[in-house]
């Protein structure tokens, strides 16, 4: 009698196992819906347009030398000097390629989208040298570092203290300059403080601001050239 119970139990165990095996292969409609949704999502994702690369909006500007005008008095005899321009020193806050725009007396903004095409000190030295070469009393200008065999009549030292626009349309440009006595003396042949006046920009066009700062640099060049000694040509 016990043996029969065991056999029946064994038979029932096999039946339960078979039922579970059959249940595991039953297809559920919900599973199919999920698979279809996943496939549709993949197709849609593949057809989505890729984001377009944004073009760089940064603009680069250069200072330019003054326009050379013909001499009105070609008969005037003047001594033409050989000038050495030492490295131009700019204020620490200007040692950046970004344009500076002053909004308040103690607040300045640096424009990442408007930049100088070269370091400001090098650009100013380049333009100052070109402007001085055009002066009627200058025959040649050399830039630091000077060659060992480069003979100079005078050297010029320039410090730039301000070079920017303001939010209300003014142009601020200020510099100090000095012409040391030749021969390594600590004395000075001439010196001055230059501040540009009457220059305006529209507050938006940085190309216009670069042009106005170039005009300011031209004014500084004229002041330095005029300070060179006037000795009649022999």
User: Which residue in the block uniquely carries the two structure tokens 């000694």?
Assistant: 229
Q: In angstroms, rounded to a whole number, what is the distance separating the alpha carbons of residues 190 and 108?
A: 33
Q: Which residues pair with 73 in a beta bridge?
A: none
Q: Which residue has the higher pLDDT, 116 or 234?
A: 116
DSSP label at residue 187: S
Least confident of 29-43, 160-174, 185-199: 29-43
CB atoms within 10 A of CB 96: 14
CA angle 221-205-100, nearest 5°? 65
CATH number of 61-67+76-227: 3.40.50.10610
Each residue of 187-219: pLDDT tens digit?
Answer: 899 999 999 999 999 999 999 999 999 999 999
Q: What is the mean pLDDT of residues 55-61?
A: 89
Stretch 161-167: mean pLDDT: 97
Beta strand spans in 59-153 (E): 59-61, 81-85, 89-90, 98-104, 107-116, 138-143
In the prediction, which pLDDT does 72 show?
A: 58
Domains in the chain: boundaries: 61-67+76-227
């Amino acid at each position: 009698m016990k043996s029969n119970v065991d056999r029946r139990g064994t038979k029932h165990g096999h039946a339960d196992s078979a039922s579970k095996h059959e249940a595991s292969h039953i297809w559920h409609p919900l599973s199919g819906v999920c698979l279809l949704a996943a496939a549709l999502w993949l197709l849609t994702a593949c057809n989505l347009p890729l984001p377009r690369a944004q073009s760089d909006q940064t603009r680069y500007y250069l200072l330019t030398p003054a326009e050379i005008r013909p001499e009105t008095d070609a008969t005037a005899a003047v001594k033409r000097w050989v000038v050495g321009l030492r490295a131009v020193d700019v204020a620490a806050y200007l040692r950046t390629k970004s344009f500076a725009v002053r909004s308040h007396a103690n607040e300045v903004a640096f424009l990442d989208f408007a930049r100088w095409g070269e370091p400001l000190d090098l650009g100013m030295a380049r333009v100052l040298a070109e402007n001085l070469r055009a002066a009627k009393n200058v025959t040649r200008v050399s830039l630091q570092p000077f060659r060992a065999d480069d003979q100079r009549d005078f050297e010029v030292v320039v410090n730039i203290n301000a070079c920017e626009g303001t939010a209300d349309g003014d142009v601020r440009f200020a510099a100090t300059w000095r012409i040391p006595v030749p021969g390594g003396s600590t004395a000075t042949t001439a010196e001055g403080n230059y501040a540009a006046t009457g220059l305006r920009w529209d507050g938006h066009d940085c190309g216009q601001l670069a042009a106005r700062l170039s005009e300011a640099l031209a004014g500084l060049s004229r002041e330095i050239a005029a300070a060179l000694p006037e000795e009649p040509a022999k």
